[in-house]
Structure 1
Amino acid sequence: MNPIVVIGSGLAGYSVARELRKLDREVAVTVVTEDDGAFYSKPMLSNAFALKKAPASLATAAAPQLAGDYGIEILAGHPVTRVDRAARTVEVNGRVLAYDRLVLAVGGRPIRLELAGDAADRVVSVNNLGDYRRFRQHLETHPRVALLGAGLVGCEFANDLAAAGHAVDVIDIAPRALPRFWPEPMALEFQARLAAAGVRWHLSESVERIDAAGDGLAIVLESGCALHADTVLSAVGLSANTALAVQAGLAVNRGIVVDRHLQTDDEHIYALGDCAEVEGLLLPFIMPIMHAARALARTLSGERTAVVYPAMPVVLKTPACPAVFFPSKLPGGGKWHVEREAAGMRAFYRASDGSLLAAALSGTCTREKDAVAKLLPALTGAA
């Protein structure tokens, strides 16, 4: 029998391989990846400075070790260029590889803003360990950072870089940091804490142009405000990597469209992680990936299993003001209710009938995340 082929060696891809091997010691599994196949925690990239982690120390296992540990084949450094659904094969660096079932765990791609200026092409993104290694090296001689995006990753990078002594300017078109995750009072407190740590905020702003200016960069905002930096880091978010799915003719919306069994409109092809849209949900966070990997492993081993997403905390790694959010579908008509403590805040988003739909915690209140999770509804119903 042909192997189960997993495209992608991030958390989603390797988690499926590991969970599947727990259930089935015999099935052949091949992981194909365009990078070196080393495993590392991607969320660590945005707070490695604070933890004094060098890029080389972030990789916890190399491809040969993982292949031995999981009893799988790993084809590293080989991008998949084509999926042939009729023949059930993929093309890997000129080689045709047949599959019994195919799992797409190809992640997301950094969103690139269309910017004017003769240095617009010098904007960098950090989406993998190689990007981070180059970014760290660049910062050694280019320490002032302008950061585009006040979302989860942008805020973590801002705190991390400021704590390491870098001058950091954060620019975002939103009126406050992380507006879709919490109410205004919590955002303002968060911004004040990071400002005290050295972060400069430029909110309700967008970048007009980026030009070379001597040894650095001149950044002009829409308001006319001018900033100077050595490095511009874009953290405006990821878009699902759907290129291979489009080439294969699979259904694609905001991500690769899959059902609760992580199955695409081809019965032999599945998707999970940052690239997958599960019944309308895009959840590019750690816990949803783990739930999906366990469910998909059971399906691939013969026990058809739908993924169930409970209320899941997302931990914001910002030591200046720790925070926890719970991803949810926020319907209109609800209202945030904020409670203040001496060194923290909690907020609950309730519908007009009083039912609890979402929550956010900051400061010392983050210790309540497990108790709060039990109060929140699941993102999906029972299978």
Structure 2
Amino acid sequence: MNVVVIGGGLAAANAAAELREQGHGGDIVVVGGEPRLPYERPPLSKGLLLGSAEPEDALVHPREWYDEHQVDVRVGTLATGIDLDRRRVRLGSEELPYDRLLIATGATPRHLPPADASGAPVLHLRTLDDAIALREQLTEGARIAIIGAGWIGLEVASAARQRGASVTVLESAPLPLQRVLGDQLATVFADLHREHGVDLRLGAQVSGVEHDHGKVVLHAEGSDPVVADLLLVAVGVSPTDELAARAGLAVDNGILVDARLRTPDPHVFAAGDVANHDHPVLGTHVRVEHWDTAIQHGRHAARVMLGSDEPYTRLPYFFTDQYDLGMEYVGHVAGGTGYDDLVVRGDLAARQASVLWLREDRVVAGLHLNDWDAIGPLRAVVGQPVTDAVRDPSVPLADLVDGEG
């Protein structure tokens, strides 16, 4: 069986590894548009910016691994088309045949309108080269402006402040991360960044971006202009699903796949940021843009290619590190409002707590703040029925797993 993977990222590298670990002896070709071997993205907004990690630390595998495992990884190579009937991937004038195809093309940062940012020092953070360029700008006294207070925007703000830069963050919503966490938890992050000296401007609608003698000037309604040495645009990403759409695959906020990561074409699968997955536990389609999902999707798709009929049931998971706050989250709360109740164990103000989101009769998500023993119990509780003990914050989280709840 000949396997082709389009996309040279984390899902692709893990799919190739799982195929070999499961004994697949056929050809594996990984096609990636970036001029680098597959790498992990979390260091890009964390350790790499802080100087505690180097670019080579982000690689999933060294070059020797691909040679030893006979994985033909083609960097700097764009797939230009997919012929589903003939089972071919076009690479310009070349065609690659496949028996199984995995599309793991990831996502693309949303940009400002070109006219607004013309000539201004503007960066987006998606690639390793982006992170290297950004790190060079995070110096003592540098003025950094960030549009968007999502995970990337806030992690970069944290790194920039720790490197001695001044930071202004403009966010159109009333709170950072509001659509992900809801108001109560979003307030924790707003307070955290303001305590560390970030000029956090909420409800700020950016109306214009100008270039002025090497500086960038941002104009926002109801706010004074912001003058900065560099602007980071962190307003989210869009799934890179155009190739799949042109081929005739079903696309709606990503490539639509079933519980086993299969498209309607039995020879084609999708994984990672680009996959809009029919999650059997959550009971809805979800598209997750996080590190853990890319790893686990890639490995699961590989097993299904080899004949497994198991659905992908792992709950979405992500983590963040900002200043002295570490957080892990498992589950899914749609739009930050898809819940009926929030149960807090511990002290949110002290940032030492665990939290459960409840919807109807089910625990749909949970997180901890600086409570590193909590992630195991959280994984066990999320997805389970709501009981009186779950609703009672005096019952320790571990007891909900041990059966005492």
Q: Say whether the fold is shared (TM-score over 0.5).
A: yes
* 1:11 matched to 2:10: yes
| 1:271 corresponds to | 270
5+ residue gaps, structure 2, are 279-284, 385-405
Distance 1:226 1:293, change over 3 A: same
CA distance in 1, matches of 2:290, 2:116: 34
Residues 247-262 of structure 1: matches in 2 within 5 Å?
247-262=246-261
Contact 1:55 1:129 survives alignment (8 Å): yes
Give the structure 1 partner of residue 144 of structure 2.
145
Out of 361, 367, 386, the residue aligned to residue 360 of structure 1 is 367
Deviation at 1:253, TM superposition (A): 0.3
Residue of 266, 281, 286 corresponding to 1:281 = 286
Which runs of 4 or more aligned residues in structure 1 lie more than 6 Å from their structure 2 counterparts after TM superposition?
none
| Structure 1 position 343, deviation (Å) | 4.6
> How far apart in 2 are the matches of 1:60 and 1:286?
12
Alignment of 1:341-352 (within 5 A): 341=347, 342-352=350-360
Q: Quote the residue 1:381 is aligned against.
A: none
TM-score by length of 2: 0.85
The C-alpha deviation readout for 1:138-188, integer Å capped at 9, x for no partner, is 556993211111111111111111111111111111111111333434332
Aligned to 1:374: 380
What is the match of residue 303 of structure 2?
298
- Which amino acid is the alignment partner of residue 214 of structure 1? H
One-letter amino acid of the structure 1 residue matched with residue 366 of structure 2: A
Is this contact kept in 1: 2:13–2:60, CA < 8 A? Answer: no
Change (3 A) 1:50 1:136: closer
Q: Structure 2: which amino acid aligns with 1:327? A: G
Alignment of 1:45-84 (within 5 A): 45-47=44-46, 48-59=48-59, 61-62=61-62, 64-84=63-83
Matches of 1:240 and 1:150, distance apart in 2 = 20
**Gap change, CA 1:118 and 1:156, over 3 Å in 2:** closer
Is contact 2:141–2:166 with CA below 8 Å preserved after alignment?
no
Deviations 1:235-280 (A, max 9, x none): 1111110111012111100001111121112121111000110122
Matching residue's letter, 1:108: A
Closer, same or farther: CA 343–285 of 1 in aligned 2, 3 Å: closer
What secondary structure is seen at the aligned counterpart in 1 of 2:378?
Answer: helix
Matched letter for residue 87 of structure 1 = R
Counterpart Cα distance in 2 of 1:61 and 1:309 = 24
Looking at structure 2, the residues matched to 181 and 97 of structure 1 have their Cα atoms a distance apart, in angstroms, of 40
Q: How many Å separate the matches in 1 of 2:117 and 2:129? A: 25
Structure 2 counterpart of 1:306, one-letter code: P
CA RMSD of aligned residues (A): 2.4
**Aligned equivalents of 1:199 and 1:141: distance in 2?**
14
State the AA in 2 paired with 1:28. D
Distance 1:140 1:160 in 2: 10
Q: Which residue is equivalent to 2:387?
A: none
Q: What's 1:232 paired with?
A: 231
**Paired amino acid for 2:359:** A
Contact kept in structure 1, 2:11 and 2:298, CA below 8 Å: yes
Deviation at 1:339, TM superposition (A): 4.1
Amino acid corresponding to residue 313 of structure 1 in structure 2: Y
Q: TM-score when scaled to structure 1? A: 0.89
- Name stretches of at least 5 consecutive residues in structure 1 with no aligned partner: 379-383
| Amino acid in the other structure paired with 2:180 | F
2: distance between equivalents of 1:136 and 1:51? 8
Instruction: Find the aligned partners of 2:308 and 2:59 in 1 and give their Cα distance.
Output: 33
Q: What code does the residue aligned with 1:374 have?
A: A
Q: Aligned residues, how many?
A: 373
Query: Contact 1:81 / 1:93 at 8 angstroms: preserved in 2?
Result: yes
